[in-house]
Amino acid sequence: MIDGLTDSLEKYMDLLSARQKVVASNIANVDTPGYKTKDLNFQAEFQAASYLNNPLPVEVPDLPVKNDGNNVSLDREARLLAENNLRFTLASVLIRSDLATIKSAINEGKTSA
Amino acid sequence: MSLLSALSVSASGMAAQRVRSELLVENIANSETTRTAEGGPYRRKDAVFSSTPVPSAFSSLLDEQMGSSLMGVTVAGVSVDTREPDRRYMPGHPDADKDGYVAMPRMNPAEDMVDLMSATRGYQANVSAISSVKDMIQRSIDILR
Amino acid sequence: MTGPITSINPIPNLAAIQPAGQSSEPGAFQSVLSGAIQTIESANQGATTAVQKFLTGENEELHTAALAVQKANLMFDLGLQVRNKVVDAYQQIMQMQM
């Protein structure tokens, strides 16, 4: 139970929170002229053997550019906001369930010590 | 730099959209104003946004030197319309010049209404971002329960 | 009346006492126990794999991973409770007066 899964989940949550920060930046800059949407290369960072504490954002290609040079799409950012939140919730619940199983093994399944 | 810094980013977005909304509302209210303190008709104002790194009380020196990639937004300035004002033929108006023309603000209130809706939408999006990030932070705290 | 001391009859040979628990085939209980542990372990492994697949995006289905994890947890809990009952039963037997 204390296997690589908890480490994987922690890394997953790290990357998700970094990605959510980038999404928040994009949303704040939805009306800034010349601002280009940023994102993280999630799968590449997740599967990398070691990752920087600050994964670098990359620009997102193929987004329509508005007249003032800004290419932030609120629909895309809203979708990512919801998706990152759900994945983060899932990872948190899985970690809690892992830790609860270990705890119950320590308590030998008895509710009163 | 934790997830909490994302809250500063979204807060900066909300502040900027609010400033923009205030300017747009001022434009709409003054769409027929012929007399201002600077003399002449009202000139349309707009907010100039620029993206800036978000400082935070908790960010470390290392973060600032590495160049935080989190860009908030600030209002860099207010741009005032410098075009020639409209001239409308209204003899008998107290501000009419010798030919009977009155200098009116060069504005399209419909355009400002649409911009106001867009600012509102941007503001709401920032509010959603804050709510979502707050939820994620709550989930992290839940691991301790 | 006293008589001459006669020799003591030798004690008949008893079979050497076998050490307890040693038999020629493995106890049925032992194999059941290791089989159960094996099942729990493989369910846990399956759950870990399912979650890893979800995280890396190989198998996108969330419910597969969630169900696998719940199943593994339930099997572990069940195994734990059975173990507790067995230990209790053993202790009760040990306390019985012979």
Choose from C51, C74, C76, C88 for mutation: most chain A CBs within 10 A: C51
C-alpha span between B65 and C78 (Å, rounded): 54
What's the alpha-carbon Rg for chain A, to the nearest Å? 19
Q: Which of B115, B122, B117 is nearest to B17 (CA)?
A: B122
Reply yes or no on whether the pLDDT at C19 is more than 70: no
Q: Which residue of C51, C73, C84 is in closest CB contact with A109? A: C84
- Long-range contact set of residues C66-69: C-beta below 8 Å, sequence gap at least 24: C66/A90, C68/C43, C69/A94, C69/A97
- Assess A67–B contact: CB distance below 8 Å, yes or no: no
Mean pLDDT of chain C: 80
Residue of C nearest to A93 (CA): C66
CB B88 within 8 A of CB B102: yes
Q: Which residue of B126, B128, B143 is in closest CB contact with A96? A: B143
- What average pLDDT does the segment C29-52 reach? 86
Cα distances (angstroms) measured from residue C15 to each of B95, C9, C18 = 132, 18, 8
Reply yes or no on whether the pLDDT at C23 is more than 60: no
Residues of B in contact with A84 (CB under 8 A): 132, 136
Backbone angles phi, psi at B45, to 5 degrees: -110, 150
Question: Residue B45 pairs with which residues in a beta bridge?
Answer: B80
C-alpha span between B76 and B87 (Å, rounded): 31
Question: Residue B74 pairs with which residues in a beta bridge?
Answer: B50
Other residues' Cβ atoms within 10 Å of the Cβ of residue B77 = 11
**pLDDT, tens digit (0-9, with 9 covering 90-100), for A98-113:** 888 888 888 876 665 4
Measured in angstroms, the CA of A5 and the nearest CA of chain B are apart by 15
ipTM score: 0.79
- Assess C76–A contact: CB distance below 8 Å, yes or no: yes
Q: Please state at what angle helix C28-56 crosses helix C62-94, rounded to 10 degrees.
A: 160
What one-character DSSP code corresponds to residue C98? -
- What are the tokens at A58? 């990359």
pLDDT beneath 50, residues of chain B: 65-67
Which range among A80-84, B53-57, C18-22 shows the weakest confidence by mean pLDDT? C18-22
Residue of B nearest to A87 (CA): B136
CB C51 within 8 A of CB A5: yes
Q: Which of B113, B44, B53 is nearest to B79 (CA)?
A: B44
Q: Which of A24, A28, C36 is nearest to B15 (CA)?
A: A28
Which range among A17-26, A78-87, B112-121, C56-65 shows the weakest confidence by mean pLDDT? C56-65
Q: Which residue of A5, A47, A105 is in closest CB contact with C80? A: A105
pLDDT at res. A113: 44
Q: Which residue of B1, B72, B132 is in closest CB contact with A81? A: B132
Residues of C in contact with A109 (CB under 8 A): 77, 80-81, 83-84
Q: Which of B4, B13, B8 is nearest to B55 (CA)?
A: B8
Residues of B in contact with A54 (CB under 8 A): 1, 63, 66, 69
The DSSP result for C37-53, as a single string, is HHHHHHHHHHHHHHHHH
- What average pLDDT does the segment A60-74 reach? 88
Q: Which of C31, C36, C35 is nearest to C77 (CA)?
A: C36
**pLDDT, tens digit (0-9, with 9 covering 90-100), for A4-27:** 788 888 888 888 988 999 999 999
Percent of chain C with pLDDT over 90: 2
Backbone angles phi, psi at C53, to 5 degrees: -65, -40
- What are the tokens at C90? 């053993």
Using CB atoms, list chains with 3+ pairs below 8 Å to chain C: A
- What average pLDDT does the segment C48-74 reach? 86
